[in-house]
Structure 1
Amino acid sequence: MNKVIVVSNLERSKKLGVRLSKAKIQLAAIMPLDIKSFDPDKFDDQLLLQLDGFRARFSDYQDLLGQVMFKLVCQVDQDETPAVVLSTRERQQLMAKKRLIDIEVWQTLREIRNSFTHDYPDQHEEKAMILNQAWLAVDSLLAMGQAIEAYLEKVVAE
């Protein structure tokens, strides 16, 4: 395994995790949202940008972990090689076996991320509900990311 690639992706993951943490802090005063009264058309541009930033960072971090970091862990441990390509489910099972993720929580995070990709133009309650789910789950996402980062840092140090 190329340590330069691992280090580069570790840095990328840490930066995105920090940005997601900052987005969470910026929204602390208004979260969780009141589902019944949530109307983004009544928010100022700054608040909308903060909500969009949180949503994008949550999705980006979840994607990075699932698509890049899981694969790196499998490759450094030689569970995955050019000759043996694992499915997404197999990678998730290995991450759980290494105690880096909880599969049920990961699936919930993935569902939240997927919900963000659908547009709900006039369904304000649906938007608020998804943002609240992400808000409540963000610490779990960050913890999984930190566990994966720590695991890969040990590999790089060897």
Structure 2
Amino acid sequence: MMLIRELFKITDIHQKRIIFSMDRLANIFPISVGKIQNLSEQEFLLIELLTTRFSKLQDFMENKIFDAFLNQVGEQIEGLTMIDKLNKLEKLSIIENSSLWFELREIRNHISHEYPDNPSATAKYLNQLYVAIPKLLSILDNIKARIDF
């Protein structure tokens, strides 16, 4: 298993790219159908970066970081379902509640699809993403604050 500091090097890369793209896209959010249809090439690429890094970070946290954190704080996780792990994270004040994580997962699932004939769906899911990003990064920060590197 990777050392926990190695795992967090990966999360740091994702987090930096998310913040980079969010900073450069702040002027287009909330995004509308009109804005979707008139994105510059640079804005489009930044949205691609944002959606990809959000998805990668959310997956990585779910598949690697949660287990590493729970192990480090002495929680028994063998055989636990994801909801059980989320409940432990909630009790440890890492995550507000388990339903938040499933909302983040649903957003990740939506943004992984293209909606070329439905710009209103694209705008809706990108706006949901923009609101969700601080929540995802807050969960990561909560874990980082409790980790012994």
TM-score, normalised relative to structure 1: 0.85
Bigger RCO (CA 8 Å, 6+ sep): 1
What do the CA deviations read for 1:72-102 (whole angstroms, capped 9, x no partner)?
1122233236xx2321111111111110012
> 2:97 aligned with 1:97, yes or no?
no
1:134 and 2:129 equivalent?
Answer: yes
**Aligned with 1:86 (options 67, 80, 84):** 80
Name structure 2 gaps, 5 residues minimum: none
* Alignment of structure 1 residues 50-129 onto 2, 5 Å: 50-80=46-76, 84-102=78-96, 103-129=98-124
Could you list the runs of 4 or more consecutive aligned residues of structure 1 that deviate by over 3 angstroms after TM superposition?
none
Q: Which has the higher Rg, Structure 1 or Structure 2?
A: 1
Structure 2 CA distance for aligned equivalents of residues 56 and 17 of structure 1 = 11
- Give the corresponding residue for 1:148: 143
**Aligned AA for 2:120?**
E
Mapped to 2, the partners of 1:149 and 1:16 lie a distance apart of 14
Please, what TM-score do these two structures have when normalized by structure 2? 0.89
- Sequence identity of aligned pairs in percent? 24
What is the total number of aligned residue pairs between the two structures? Answer: 148
How big is the alpha-carbon RMSD for the aligned residues of Structure 1 and Structure 2?
Answer: 1.7
Range 128-137 or range 96-105, more displaced:
96-105
- How far apart, in 2, do the equivalents of 1:113 and 1:62 lie? 8
